[in-house]
Amino acid sequence: MTTSYSTITELPNEKVPLEQILRITERYCWASKFAIEQDVLECACGAGQGADLLNSISHSYVAADIDKGLISIAKKNNPVVNFKVFDALNIPFDDESFDVVLICEALYYFSDISKFLQEAKRVLRRGGKILIVSANPGLFDFNPSPFTYTYPGVIDMGEYFNINGFKYISAEGGTSTLESGLRQKLLRPVKLIASRLNLIPKTMKGKSWLKKMFFGGEFVSMPNRIVCKENKPIFVNTIEMDKNDTTHKVLYFVGEKI
């Protein structure tokens, strides 16, 4: 039986902290730099908030997820986008079909990361890029999501790239904990204790009360579609590729097919 990811996925119109919207916007605006006039495959696209953006700037764009419910939401909000339902460990496309493969905040749900990377390499053309956005396990108060297997850090990702035929092009970090508000900084030890005692709810809905305490401020609706505003900088920072990062909440990795 296929796991349903809808309860742990960011869904359009749900009330979320502003930071959550900034983070999903950041990841797709970052990915868009690589997608212009390229043939792009997005794996584990979730509810498709980034689909319209990437579809509008790429030469071709296909988005897929294993969860039929999430794809139904994505199709409803993006009727002109080519969505598919499939397991990213078995990509149903011919060899060398794409220039870019993107996966955002989902690599850790794969039971075999190398299998995914091998499939991505197969469908990429020579010199093609794989773009990976992932939560950072190097934070001292890191809390893993349900259904997950392995969270690669900066060094781990380099090893995965190396053994699966990719050149490690870059590592970047987004949403720095150093720039968090005072409330978040003071409550990080509380989050750590709650995580260690397994007290943090497992679903997005269950976490809502915790997010209100942790983030504070008014919650806003998650948009159906992400928009990148012109001349607005993307706040991701280059980080060392031979050292695990302990500062940023989100890691951005780029590998190139050798």
**pLDDT digits over 55-89, tens only?**
999 999 999 999 999 999 999 999 999 999 999 99
pLDDT (mean) for 183-211: 63
CA–CA distances in Å: residue 23 to residues 38, 87, 88, 124, 242: 24, 25, 23, 27, 25
Identify the CATH number of the domain in which residue 246 sits. 3.40.50.150
Looking at the domain assignment, is residue 187 inside a domain? no
Q: Is residue 71 part of a domain?
A: yes
Longest dimension (CA), the chain: 51
The pTM of the full predicted model, rounded to 2 decimals, is 0.90
Overall residue count recorded for the chain in this entry: 258
Q: Is 41 a member of any domain?
A: yes
For the chain, the C-alpha Rg in angstroms (whole number) is 18
- β-strand 124-135 against 248-257: which pairing, if any? antiparallel
Task: Tell me which residue range forms the domain holding 95.
Answer: 19-176+229-257
pLDDT exceeds cutoff 50 at 1 = no
Residue 178 identity (one-letter amino acid): L
Query: How many domains does the chain contain in total?
Result: 1
Please tell me the predicted confidence (pLDDT) of residue 7: 85
- Partner residues linked to 168 by β-bridges: 255
Residue 243 has pLDDT above 70, yes or no: yes
Would 169 be classed as within a structural domain?
yes
Which of 144 and 88 is assigned the larger pLDDT?
Answer: 88
In a domain, 51, yes or no: yes
pLDDT digits over 10-19, tens only?
899 998 888 8
Question: What is the residue-averaged pLDDT of the chain?
Answer: 90
Residue 222 lies in a domain: no
241 inside domain: yes
- Please report whether residue 242 resides in a domain: yes
